[in-house]
Chain A
Amino acid sequence: MERFVDLAVSAILLAGLYATMAYGLGLIYGVLRVVNLAHGGVIMAGAYLGWVLHGSLGIDPYLSIPLVVLLSFGLGMAMYRVLVRHLPRGAAGGPASLLLLFGVWLVLRNVAYLLFTGNDQAIRTSYSTRSLLVLGTHVSVNRLAVLVIALVTPALLQLLLRHSHVGRAIRAVAQNADSCTLVGVDVERIYTLTFGIGTALAGLAGLLSATIFSFNPGFGSGELLKSFVVVVLGGLGSVLGTGVAALVLAVVEVFAILVLPSYLTSAVGFVMLVLVLVFRPGGLFGHRVLG
Chain B
Amino acid sequence: MTPMLQVDAIDVFYGDIQVLYGLSLEVREGEIVTLLGSNGAGKTTTLRAVSGLRPPRAGDIRFRGQSLRDVPAAARCDLGIALVPEGRELWPMLTVRENLELGAYGKRARPSAPRNLERVFALFPRLAERQRQLAGSLSGGEQQMCAIGRALMSEPTLLMLDEPSLGLSPLLVDQVMRTVAELHASGMTILLVEQNLQKALEVAQRGTVIETGRVRLTGSAVELSGNPEIRAAYLGL
Contact = CB atoms under 8 A, between A and B. Distances in A.
Interface of A: 165, 168-169, 171-172, 175-176, 178-187, 288-291
27 contacts: A165-B105, A168-B94, A168-B102, A169-B105, A172-B91, A172-B98, A175-B91, A175-B92, A175-B94, A179-B90, A180-B74, A180-B102, A181-B51, A181-B53, A182-B51, A182-B85, A183-B77, A183-B104, A183-B154, A184-B75, A184-B106, A186-B72, A186-B74, A288-B93, A289-B93, A291-B94, A291-B134
Interface size class of B (residues with CB under 8 A): 20 to 34
A187 B94 contact: no
Nearest to A172: B91
B94 A183 contact: no
Contacts of A186: 72, 74
Nearest to B78: A184
Given A184-B77, A186-B74, 5 more contacts: A168-B102, A179-B85, A182-B151, A184-B154, A185-B102
Contacts of A181: 51-53, 73-74
Contacts of B98: 168, 172
Contacts of B74: 180-181, 184-187
A171 B91 contact: yes
Contacts of B85: 178-179, 182
A141 B89 CA distance: 50
Contacts of A168: 94, 98, 101-102
A290 B74 CA distance: 22
A182 B106 CA distance: 10
A16 to B, nearest CB: 26
B82 interface: yes
Q: Is the interface of A mostly helix, strand, loop or mixed?
A: helix
B45 to A, nearest CB: 13
A287 B71 CA distance: 37
B150 interface: yes
Nearest to A189: B74
A222 to B, nearest CB: 32
Contacts of B110: 165
Nearest to A165: B105
Contact of B102 (A172, A289, A291): A172
Contacts of A171: 91, 93-94
Nearest to B81: A182
- When A and B form their complex, which 4 residue pairs have the shortest distance between CB atoms, in order from nearest? A184-B106, A291-B93, A184-B77, A175-B91
Nearest to A182: B83
A161 B107 CA distance: 20
Nearest to B135: A175
Contacts of A184: 74-78, 105-107, 109, 154
Interface in B34-55: 51-53
B141 interface: no
Contacts of B82: 182
A185 B154 CA distance: 12
A178 B154 CA distance: 16
B103 interface: yes
Nearest to B83: A182
A21 to B, nearest CB: 24
- Residue from A178, A186, A290 with most neighbouring chain B CB atoms (10 Å): A178
B75 to A, nearest CB: 7
A288 B93 CA distance: 8
B109 to A, nearest CB: 8
**B92, B94, B103: residue with the most chain A Cβ atoms closer than 10 Å:** B94
